[in-house]
Structure 1
Amino acid sequence: MLYPWQESLWQNWQQLLDQRRLHHAVLLVAPLGSGREALAKQLAQTVLCQNGVTEPCGICHSCKLFEAGTHPDFHPLAPEQQGKQIGVDAVRKCNRWAVETSQLGGDRIIMIDYADAMGEAAANALLKTLEEPPSGCQFILLASALDNLLPTINSRCNKWRLAMPNEADTQRWVEKQLMQSIKLETVRLNNSAPIATMQFIEQGQDIRYGKLLEAFAAFLQPPHIGLYDVAGLCSSEGHNSLKWLSYFMVDCLKLQQGAAGHLVHSESLPLVQQAAAVVTPATLISQSRKANALYQQLERHTGLNAELLLVEWLTGFMAQ
């Protein structure tokens, strides 16, 4: 099933399919929570379909196997868990899939989600296969950004960016799905990605983040009571909480500089005003940078004592 914001890009792919001009390596650049896997799977099923050219027929043997998740010529690859790298051994397995004979006599599809999570050795192992693609093998790579992909991988792929709907459209779509009104700041916290916004609410993260934000704003007031409460809330929510709090700090900076026209925390303005009145701009800038660095550290290394590192970061507000 495709989502409304994917239709335009899908029509471009359909045109290439119709003209038999689809590149052997498609790189879809789209944020998490955009439904990118659904779009990639639509392309994969269409390529593998025994009847359709620009749409999967849904009734052939290939489509039935694909929909059941048992298609022998569809090979998905992703990190074993989010935040982990795709290792070189996994990519070598991809390379073996690429040269195997199709079990249904058609094409083979290799779909690599989180392609930007490939280590350098893994990316280099894939590179030769992309340079000399085996006949009848289609690669579909998905990534959130190009920054972490080797330039040589980028250059071997046909790149497509999935545009997110504007925040008003995302808000309307999520409200329609959930049959309830939602805050605009929830959309902004999730970078206008509709699926991410919907899951944020369905999983109760909006309520938990509201409690974290109140605790954080209270902690910023001298004499900075509740340090361990904030660290515990951040730790239980996961390192994404650092990303959200960095948005809050940037909102405080915007308010201090008279640029309050587009705050992420549009419905939490009193908390932004409260914090902006007591934290210096220098501290906000420094702590925002440290929060982003800590987020990257926790994203890459899952075995760290997150709560201890969060306490250390929070003490930076007490030294201003």
Structure 2
Amino acid sequence: MLYPWQQTLWQNWQLLLGQKRLHHAVLLLAEKGSGREVLAKQLARTVLCQNCDTEPCGVCHSCKLFEAETHPDFHYVAPVEEGKQIGVDTIRQCNRWAVETSQLGGQRVILIDHADSLGEAAANALLKTLEEPPADCQFILTAQSLDNMLPTINSRCNKWRLTMPNEDDTKRWVEQQMMQSIKLEAVRLNSGAPLATLQFVEQGQDIRHGNLIEAFTAFIQPPFTGIYEVAGLCTSEGRASLKWLSYFLVDCIKYQQGVSNCFVHSESLNKVQAVAAAVNLAVLLSQVRKVNELHRQLEMHSGLNEELLIVEWLTGFISHG
């Protein structure tokens, strides 16, 4: 079942499918939390369907196998875990699948999710197959952006960008799913992505985010007590907490610069104002840069003493207080 914000792009694909003009390699660019895998699998299911050209019939042998996740001509590839690369051996296996005979006598589909996680060797291995595509083989690639993708891969694909709904529509959709009202800042903290926002609220991250911002605001006021409470809240939440604090400090900078709207923390402006009044601009700029660096450091290296590094970063506010 597709999401409302996917319908326009899907209708464009249906038009091409009906005209048998769909490119052999489709690259879907979509934000995390947009449900892009659902859309990509809908395309795969349709390409494999034995009865219909523009939507899966749901009743043929192919559709039944797809639903049971046992379709012999559908191959799904993704990183083993988030942040890891897709290795060259995995792509070599894709290339073998691409030239195999279809077991159901129809198309073969290879879906590479997080194609922006392809290592250079893996991307080069895929390139040759995309340049000389085997007959009746459909490649579907998904990625968050083109930034980490080889230009040569980009140029061999037909690119489609999934547009996110505006933040009011996202807020309304999440509220309908949960049957409760949510804060606009929950949407903004998740870049407007509906599924990411839904998960954020469902998992209680909105409450933990609020607790962290409250503790951080209290810590910033002299005599700077509560440093270990803030560090503890950050550590228990993980790297996401550092992104929240980065967004919050950027809001403080905006407030100091006289910006009157576009705040991520739209419902926590009293806390933004309190911190903006207590910390000068140079410190805010320095601490934003350092917290972003810390986030990258923790992302790249496991086994670091997270709490110690966060306490060290927080002391940057005290030493300039």
Residue 292 of structure 1 and its aligned partner are, at CA, apart by 2.0
For residues 200-224 of structure 1, what are the alpha-carbon distances to aligned partners after superposition, in whole Å with 9 as ceiling and x for unaligned? 0111111111111111222222332
Q: Provide the residue aligned with 2:258 in structure 1.
A: 258
Whether contact under 8 Å (1:251, 1:260) holds in the other structure is no
Q: Distance in 1 between matches of 2:256 and 2:286?
A: 15
Q: Provide the residue aligned with 2:40 in structure 1.
A: 40
Q: Provide the residue aligned with 2:52 in structure 1.
A: 52
Letter of the structure 2 residue corresponding to residue 249 of structure 1: L
- Equivalent runs, 1:62-101 vs 2, <5 Å: 62-101=62-101
Q: Provide the residue aligned with 1:173 in structure 2.
A: 173
Three-state SS of the structure 2 residue aligned to 1:72 is: coil
Q: Provide the residue aligned with 2:231 in structure 1.
A: 231
Q: Distance in 1 between matches of 2:87 and 2:316?
A: 36
Whether contact under 8 Å (1:228, 1:311) holds in the other structure is yes
Unaligned stretches of 5+ residues in structure 1: none
Q: Distance in 2 between matches of 1:76 and 1:224?
A: 51
Residue 99 of structure 1 and its aligned partner are, at CA, apart by 1.6
Three-state SS of the structure 1 residue aligned to 2:292 is: helix
Letter of the structure 2 residue corresponding to residue 197 of structure 1: T
Q: Distance in 2 between matches of 1:71 and 1:230?
A: 49
Residue 302 of structure 1 and its aligned partner are, at CA, apart by 3.5
Q: Distance in 1 between matches of 2:229 and 2:123?
A: 42
Moved more, 13-22 or 227-236: 227-236
Three-state SS of the structure 2 residue aligned to 1:66 is: helix
For residues 86-120 of structure 1, what are the alpha-carbon distances to aligned partners after superposition, in whole Å with 9 as ceiling and x for unaligned? 12222222122212221111111111111111222
For residues 263-291 of structure 1, what are the alpha-carbon distances to aligned partners after superposition, in whole Å with 9 as ceiling and x for unaligned? 11011111111110111111211221222
Letter of the structure 1 residue corresponding to residue 149 of structure 2: L
Three-state SS of the structure 1 residue aligned to 2:267 is: helix
Q: Provide the residue aligned with 1:219 in structure 2.
A: 219
Three-state SS of the structure 1 residue aligned to 2:23 is: coil
Q: Provide the residue aligned with 2:27 in structure 1.
A: 27
Seen in structure 2, the aligned counterparts of structure 1 residues 286 and 18 have a Cα distance that, compared at 3 Å, is: same
Q: Provide the residue aligned with 2:140 in structure 1.
A: 140
Moved more, 307-316 or 72-81: 307-316
Moved more, 91-100 or 55-64: 91-100
For residues 60-101 of structure 1, what are the alpha-carbon distances to aligned partners after superposition, in whole Å with 9 as ceiling and x for unaligned? 000001111111111111111112221222222212221222
Whether contact under 8 Å (1:78, 1:113) holds in the other structure is yes
- Equivalent runs, 1:258-277 vs 2, <5 Å: 258-277=258-277
Whether contact under 8 Å (1:174, 1:198) holds in the other structure is yes
Seen in structure 2, the aligned counterparts of structure 1 residues 224 and 150 have a Cα distance that, compared at 3 Å, is: farther
Letter of the structure 2 residue corresponding to residue 300 of structure 1: M
Seen in structure 2, the aligned counterparts of structure 1 residues 2 and 280 have a Cα distance that, compared at 3 Å, is: same
Q: Distance in 2 between matches of 1:159 and 1:190?
A: 24
Q: Provide the residue aligned with 1:245 in structure 2.
A: 245
Letter of the structure 2 residue corresponding to residue 60 of structure 1: C
Q: Distance in 2 between matches of 1:135 and 1:237?
A: 48
Letter of the structure 2 residue corresponding to residue 20 of structure 1: K
Residue 32 of structure 1 and its aligned partner are, at CA, apart by 0.8
Residue 188 of structure 1 and its aligned partner are, at CA, apart by 0.7
The percentage of aligned residue pairs carrying the same residue is 73
Q: Provide the residue aligned with 1:2 in structure 2.
A: 2
Seen in structure 2, the aligned counterparts of structure 1 residues 310 and 131 have a Cα distance that, compared at 3 Å, is: farther
Q: Distance in 2 between matches of 1:122 and 1:313?
A: 37
Q: Provide the residue aligned with 1:287 in structure 2.
A: 287
Residue 238 of structure 1 and its aligned partner are, at CA, apart by 1.8
Letter of the structure 2 residue corresponding to residue 161 of structure 1: R
* Cα RMSD (Å): 1.3
Moved more, 224-233 or 41-50: 224-233
Three-state SS of the structure 2 residue aligned to 1:266 is: coil
Q: Provide the residue aligned with 1:16 in structure 2.
A: 16
Letter of the structure 2 residue corresponding to residue 288 of structure 1: V
Residue 12 of structure 1 and its aligned partner are, at CA, apart by 0.7
TM normalised by structure 1 equals 0.96
Whether contact under 8 Å (1:84, 1:300) holds in the other structure is no
Moved more, 147-156 or 59-68: 147-156
Letter of the structure 1 residue corresponding to residue 216 of structure 2: F
